[in-house]
Chain A
Amino acid sequence: MREQLEQIRAQALEQLGDAATPEQIEAVRVRVLGRSGELTEIMRRMPEVPREERPAIGRLVNEIKTQIEERIAVLSEQLKRLAMERSLVEARIDVTLPGLNVPRGWLHPVTQSRERMLDILESMGFEVVETPDIEDDFHNFGALNFPPDHPAREMQDTFFLFGGLLLRTHTSNGQIRVMEQRKPPLAIVCPGNCYRPDELTVRSSPMFGQIEGFMIDRAGVITMAHLKGVLTEFLRAFFGPESAVRFRASFFPFTEPSAEVDISCLLCGGSGCRVCKQSGWTEILGAGMIHPNVLRAVGYDPEEYQGFAFGMGVERTALLKLGVEDMRLFFENDLRFLRQFRSGEAVS
């Protein structure tokens, strides 16, 4: 048995001496030290050994086992070092090759603009409320002081649906929807899509986003001066603090007094250019004090409550902010156009 063990030792050490790869070393380890390896086999045959020799044989087995294990450890270490040194020479890469493409998308520029506008308005204390696109005549027109057949209706051509309903022409239906449900004080913005029978062209689209905002409180609390303050603050936050804002009288059936709000032309800064038709101003939104007839339509007493409302086109505002000149680009979804807004920073 002793000779047998010595023979195992000699053979193993010799083979390890010749081993050049981790696989060869592993083969020796398995053959000698493995679960059914040579040493394990010897240990299993221990009962055959006379009792008095057993401790000595046992010690020898352990000695051989330790010796081979140490040898394997040293050899493995050497091989790893060699492999490492080889890899330093051989495993060079061309670091200028492109990386593997991990997908990453981005948001539509109109979404980026709309979210920015809503973020600003939320920070100013407005609550966002969602209202329906499919409306009845009352919520889109009647309650907003558009009498039937009135020429004011021609300001807003309308898509009608079979079944007596229509597609809202503005988000102003939000005023009515909210006021019917709630009582002042209210500070609300209603974003959403609106529809008017205009072809998709450079300046128009049959579907477009709007944001309606309104603030109502007891009579005398929310005034036209506040309308001016809030919109000026909002527009400067969105377009930049250097923007000038001007209010010009206008007409909407659902506000009185009504105003168109202009900002100084973003292209020329107000000195006059082709885009602003030399006026230095760009029309950006419509606003006014809510008309007493609108308050009456939802059962508010105009003697008791008053407030302001405003509405702005999302695409139009985005066009101005981003310096894009063609509305169609927003609905064509040409990746070569959209890609430019990858960073999401164009409207922040």
Chain B
Amino acid sequence: MKVPLSWLREFVTVDAATEEICRRLTMAGLEVETLTRVVPGFTDVFVARVLKVERHPNADRLSLCDVDAGNAGRARVVCGAPNVRAGMLTAFARVGARLASGVHGHGSGSLEEAEPLQAAVIRGVQSEGMLCSELELGLSSDHQGIVELDSDAKPGEPFQTYLKLPDAVLDIAVTPNRGDCLSILGVAREVAALFGCKLRPPKIKGVRISREGSPSEFSFDVEIRAPELCARYAALAMNHITVAPSPLWMRRRLELCGMRALNNVVDVTNYVMLEIGQPLHAFDLRQISGQRIIVRRAGEEREFETLDGTRRALQPDDLLIADAERPLAIAGIMGGRNSEVVASTQSVLLESAYFEPLSIARTARRLNLRSEASYRFERGIDRAGQVNGLLRAAELLGALAGAKPTSRLLDVEPRPAQERRIELKLSYLNSVLGASIPVTEVRKRLKFLGARVETGTRTLVVFPPSFRPDLNEPADLVEEVARLTGLAEIPARLPRREAAVAIVHEERRFEKRLRELMVGCGMVEVKTLAFIAAADNQRFPGFVSIEGGATRAEPARVINPLTAELSEMRLSLLPGLLNALRFNLNREATAFHAFEIGKVFTTVEGIPREQRRLAAISYGDYAMGGVDHPAVKAGFFTAKGILETCFRGLAIEEVSFEPAAPSLAPYLHPGRAAQFSVGGSMLGLIGELHPAEVLRLDLEHPCVLFEVDLATLMTYASRAAVTVNLPPRFPAVRRDLALLVDSEIAAGLVLATVQKLDVELLESVELFDVYQGESIPLGKKSVALACRYRAKDRTLTDEEVNRAHNLVIEQTRSRLRAELRL
């Protein structure tokens, strides 16, 4: 809401500086977003009357004019404007005046740089100054003729005084609950309440309207068929209208408020809306047939052409204003092309109504058609302001367009407003605020807002004004008192706390550990958007971790995405990481080792699921590089090492890896991918990116990825209880075991088999070599294991160790059909 200070000051006298007014409004919830200073773009320009106009002796199109600028003197000037005539009031720039826009608008726009106007000889005649167009005064782009002023202008008055300059425009961000502040009067009321000064609403005078039958040329009816959507409808017919441009002062005000001036009739309806908040509409009376206004739902009506020339699709519940035959307007939103006020209009029907906010909001949003009127109806206008608005408009139309009432004033109110009565306990108010505001202060504040207040000893009975539909219960009044008194007046206190143990969020603590582990492994944390292209979800379908395995999931799809590239919620964090990789490779990076912890979104049988995941990407030189030391390149085993480091760091034992089913991870290299699980639950996937993806992304090195389900990981991390043992007192003995097995048998299986053997004294088994090639038969491989034997209570003898080791050899051979390699 743009509020010119000069207009505001018509309704409230406040002697505070502009900045202070802005600050107080902002602190009270009417945030002044910008304060624009409006300064005159001219000096030495005065209101003047043209006394006499003569033809220029040497030029047909020029006139010689005698002008009287009161105290500023008289002058004879040469003028080329077609509209100049004796008796008119206009703007006169005397010799020495400066115009930022310059003569004929050729100035630089800067007042400082403007040359002072000099007396000049034009076609042989001396001209002492000039008469100015709006363009030349920087008021508009109009250069058709010179400025024409209303009869209220006084010759000799400095023109900037006439324009109420300098001025300032406050642009206020009005919150949706404060429809009452979408008018100059509403903001003035707020200023009055904040500064404790008197409000002067506009007084309406000089309109004679019959409210009862009595003599009228035009009679009509209003029928409200949808009283639940239209609580009140007032209307008045006026004739003898001359449609013309509005006077300068009104056009200026509309423009300062961000509205375009059209003609006096439309401008008056807008002006009254800006002034007191009541939206109005004027129909061309000629177009209303059947002398009847019907307020009804669209029903069967399918389409309607609004006055902007657009055909709008209607829905049965949209509210229309119609006559006996056809719709004339979409109620509260926009009038129709068929009944628009045009240049030839001589009589109008003025409408001033109260429409149900939510109905207007629904229709306006669906049509994506927001007008200044609908904006106000949606937020709730004064429930009782309809007649007042109509009278104010009638008054202005009379003054500006010569309009005369030609009907009685119709005022139909099928649903009279209910008075609201709120009991506000002072104890409640102070217990919400944690303050002690005296009852006199509370009463004073509420009265300034226009509420009627009955005072009890501990309870105030408050009747909110009709223009504050947002005040319905005690909490609403508490807010009013708090913001008008100032939130700064409420003390700041810390709550009293019991010395209770803080509840720790285990998931957060766990993720913190995990992040630290990843960071320790050289991984940089990144953050990517959860929105993704459908194609990426197809390429990277993620996995759903459930007891006993994994299944495919459907993505969650966005109905109204920003772009097609962001139309689904990610099933996997991996596409985001690959994007980040590509982004960095395009910007000087040669290696990228990153991780993200975030949610993935799936729909399983229509039910949305959110799962937290850890995902990582590793590409390029990874570790231990230096001068003369080739770095370790990222590959399956560096990434697996990172995973294993995390598992160790979380004390999770026995994660088993097996080749990933290609259907589970189509984006991974089929020969270099694994799925891993713990305790029978799928934990995640790891592998090198599929060569086809490597090509698609134009990568030079292998790129390793893994993704882990955090809920599963956390379940097993928290299960790992720590048992404390003393360090062994007796030495262990190592015996190596080299086995020849079929080359298809995974080394992990060989190791796991030996680890699981139930052989006394066997403490641990480690894999230290896998070999295929020379001296190994085709189709076989050698797997070398280091077995450690130890007893708790003694040093083992060779003989004891040999016995145990032989047992291991024997059992391994039979279980794996392995041969011993010597």
Least Cβ–Cβ distance between A315 and chain B, in angstroms: 9
Given A132-B610, A151-B176, A207-B530: A101 touches B601 (CB 8 Å cut-off): no
Q: A127 near B502 (CB under 8 angstroms)? A: yes
Q: B490 near A228 (CB under 8 angstroms)? A: yes
In the complex, identify which listed stretch (A11-19, A79-87, A153-161) lies at the interface while the others stay far away. A153-161
Given A225-B435, A331-B527: A111 touches B631 (CB 8 Å cut-off): no
Q: B433 near A224 (CB under 8 angstroms)? A: yes
Q: Which residue of A lies closest to B557 (CB)?
A: A162
Q: A292 near B558 (CB under 8 angstroms)? A: no
A100 at the interface (CB under 8 A from B): yes
Q: B527 near A127 (CB under 8 angstroms)? A: no
A346 at the interface (CB under 8 A from B): no
Q: Residue-by-residue, is A273-310 near B (CB-CB < 8 Å gives 1, otherwise 0)?
A: 00000000000000001011000000000100010000
B587 at the interface (CB under 8 A from A): yes
Q: A101 near B631 (CB under 8 angstroms)? A: yes
Given A159-B560, A161-B558, A224-B432: A100 touches B625 (CB 8 Å cut-off): yes
Least Cβ–Cβ distance between B585 and chain A, in angstroms: 10
Q: Which residue of A lies closest to B476 (CB)?
A: A256
Residues on B with beta carbons closer than 8 Å to the beta carbon of A152: 176-177
Which listed residue (B519, B583, B621) contacts A334, Cβ 8 A? B583
Q: A223 near B432 (CB under 8 angstroms)? A: yes
Q: Which residue of B lies closest to A161 (CB)?
A: B556
Residues on B with beta carbons closer than 8 Å to the beta carbon of A100: 624-626, 629
Residues on B with beta carbons closer than 8 Å to the beta carbon of A225: 433-435, 490-493
Q: A248 near B29 (CB under 8 angstroms)? A: yes
Given A105-B518, A250-B29: A226 touches B495 (CB 8 Å cut-off): yes
Q: Which residue of B lies closest to A315 (CB)?
A: B527
A147 at the interface (CB under 8 A from B): yes
Least Cβ–Cβ distance between B752 and chain A, in angstroms: 29
Which listed residue (A98, A106, A289, A291) contacts B627, Cβ 8 A? A98
Distance A260 CA – B559 CA, assembled complex (angstroms):
32
Residues on B with beta carbons closer than 8 Å to the beta carbon of A125: 497, 500, 502
Distance A336 CA – B631 CA, assembled complex (angstroms):
21
Q: Residue-by-residue, is B516-550 near A (CB-CB < 8 Å gives 1, otherwise 0)?
A: 00111111111111110000000000000000000
Q: A193 near B530 (CB under 8 angstroms)? A: yes
Distance A162 CA – B555 CA, assembled complex (angstroms):
10
Distance A55 CA – B631 CA, assembled complex (angstroms):
64
Chain B residue total in the interface (Cβ 8 A): 95
Residues on B with beta carbons closer than 8 Å to the beta carbon of A128: 505, 508
Q: A291 near B587 (CB under 8 angstroms)? A: no
Q: B525 near A105 (CB under 8 angstroms)? A: yes
A215 at the interface (CB under 8 A from B): yes
Q: B528 near A331 (CB under 8 angstroms)? A: yes
Residues on A with beta carbons closer than 8 Å to the beta carbon of B473: 292
A177 at the interface (CB under 8 A from B): no
Q: Which residue of A lies closest to B173 (CB)?
A: A250
Q: A101 near B482 (CB under 8 angstroms)? A: no
Residues on B with beta carbons closer than 8 Å to the beta carbon of A162: 556-559
Residues on A with beta carbons closer than 8 Å to the beta carbon of B715: none
A140 at the interface (CB under 8 A from B): no
Distance A150 CA – B473 CA, assembled complex (angstroms):
19
Which listed residue (A108, A122, A333) contacts B584, Cβ 8 A? A333
Least Cβ–Cβ distance between A296 and chain B, in angstroms: 11
Distance A287 CA – B584 CA, assembled complex (angstroms):
39
Q: B487 near A206 (CB under 8 angstroms)? A: no
Q: B492 near A229 (CB under 8 angstroms)? A: yes
A249 at the interface (CB under 8 A from B): yes
Q: B588 near A336 (CB under 8 angstroms)? A: yes
Residues on A with beta carbons closer than 8 Å to the beta carbon of B569: 134, 161, 167
Q: Residue-by-residue, is B597-611 near A (CB-CB < 8 Å gives 1, otherwise 0)?
A: 011010100101010
Task: Give the most central of A103, A128, A155, A197: most B CB within 10 Å.
Answer: A103
Q: B175 near A250 (CB under 8 angstroms)? A: yes
Given A106-B525, A132-B610: A306 touches B27 (CB 8 Å cut-off): no
Q: B522 near A150 (CB under 8 angstroms)? A: no
B178 at the interface (CB under 8 A from A): yes
Which listed residue (A195, A219, A335) contacts B592, Cβ 8 A? A335
Distance A199 CA – B529 CA, assembled complex (angstroms):
12
Q: Which residue of B lies closest to A205 (CB)?
A: B529
A110 at the interface (CB under 8 A from B): yes
Residues on B with beta carbons closer than 8 Å to the beta carbon of A220: 431
What is the interface of chain A mostly: helix, strand, loop, or mixed?
A: mixed
Given A108-B526, A199-B562: A226 touches B610 (CB 8 Å cut-off): no
Q: B626 near A97 (CB under 8 angstroms)? A: yes
Q: Residue-by-residue, is B444-488 near A (CB-CB < 8 Å gives 1, otherwise 0)?
A: 000000000000000000000000000001011011001100011
Residues on B with beta carbons closer than 8 Å to the beta carbon of A134: 556, 569, 601, 608, 610
Distance A132 CA – B602 CA, assembled complex (angstroms):
13
Least Cβ–Cβ distance between A145 and chain B, in angstroms: 11
Q: B507 near A130 (CB under 8 angstroms)? A: yes
Residues on B with beta carbons closer than 8 Å to the beta carbon of A139: none
Q: A224 near B175 (CB under 8 angstroms)? A: no
Least Cβ–Cβ distance between A329 and chain B, in angstroms: 10
Distance A251 CA – B29 CA, assembled complex (angstroms):
7
A332 at the interface (CB under 8 A from B): yes
Residues on B with beta carbons closer than 8 Å to the beta carbon of A106: 519, 524-525
CB neighbors of A among B1-59 (8 A): 26-29, 31
B117 at the interface (CB under 8 A from A): no
Q: B566 near A206 (CB under 8 angstroms)? A: yes
Which listed residue (B483, B503, B508) contacts A257, Cβ 8 A? B483
Distance A263 CA – B478 CA, assembled complex (angstroms):
25
Q: Which residue of B lies closest to A100 (CB)?
A: B626
Distance A279 CA – B54 CA, assembled complex (angstroms):
57
Given A101-B625, A106-B524: A228 touches B482 (CB 8 Å cut-off): no
Q: Which residue of B lies closest to A107 (CB)?
A: B525
B358 at the interface (CB under 8 A from A): yes
B622 at the interface (CB under 8 A from A): yes
A179 at the interface (CB under 8 A from B): no
B623 at the interface (CB under 8 A from A): yes
Distance A100 CA – B628 CA, assembled complex (angstroms):
10
Q: A111 near B525 (CB under 8 angstroms)? A: yes
Given A103-B521, A224-B435, A335-B589: A259 touches B560 (CB 8 Å cut-off): no
Least Cβ–Cβ distance between B802 and chain A, in angstroms: 20
Distance A109 CA – B523 CA, assembled complex (angstroms):
14
A5 at the interface (CB under 8 A from B): no
Distance A101 CA – B475 CA, assembled complex (angstroms):
63
Q: Residue-by-residue, is A201-230 near B (CB-CB < 8 Å gives 1, otherwise 0)?
A: 000011100000001000111111110111
Q: A333 near B526 (CB under 8 angstroms)? A: yes
Distance A195 CA – B379 CA, assembled complex (angstroms):
25
Residues on B with beta carbons closer than 8 Å to the beta carbon of A148: 358
Residues on A with beta carbons closer than 8 Å to the beta carbon of B560: 159-160, 197
Q: Which residue of A lies closest to B521 (CB)?
A: A103
B329 at the interface (CB under 8 A from A): no
CB neighbors of B among A31-60 (8 A): none
Residues on B with beta carbons closer than 8 Å to the beta carbon of A197: 560, 562
A257-B482, A332-B583 are known; give 5 further A-B pairs, CB within 8 A. A108-B526, A134-B601, A229-B492, A230-B495, A249-B28
Chain A residues with a Cβ under 8 A of chain B: 97-108, 110-111, 115, 118, 122-123, 125, 127-130, 132-134, 147-152, 154-155, 159-163, 165, 167, 193, 195, 197, 199-200, 205-207, 215, 219-226, 228-230, 232-233, 246-251, 256-260, 289, 291-292, 302, 306, 330-336, 338
Chain B residues with a Cβ under 8 A of chain A: 26-29, 31, 175-178, 357-358, 361-362, 365, 378-379, 431-435, 473, 475-476, 478-479, 482-483, 487-488, 490-495, 497, 500, 502-505, 507-508, 512, 515, 518-531, 556-562, 566, 569, 580, 583-584, 587-589, 592-595, 598-599, 601, 603, 606, 608, 610, 621-627, 629, 631
Please list 25 pairs of residues, one from A and one from B, whose beta carbons are closer than 8 Å in the complex, sorted by A's number. Answer: A98-B626, A103-B623, A105-B593, A130-B507, A134-B608, A147-B358, A149-B358, A151-B361, A159-B559, A161-B557, A162-B558, A199-B562, A200-B529, A224-B482, A225-B433, A229-B495, A233-B494, A246-B488, A248-B26, A291-B475, A292-B475, A330-B527, A333-B526, A334-B583, A336-B588
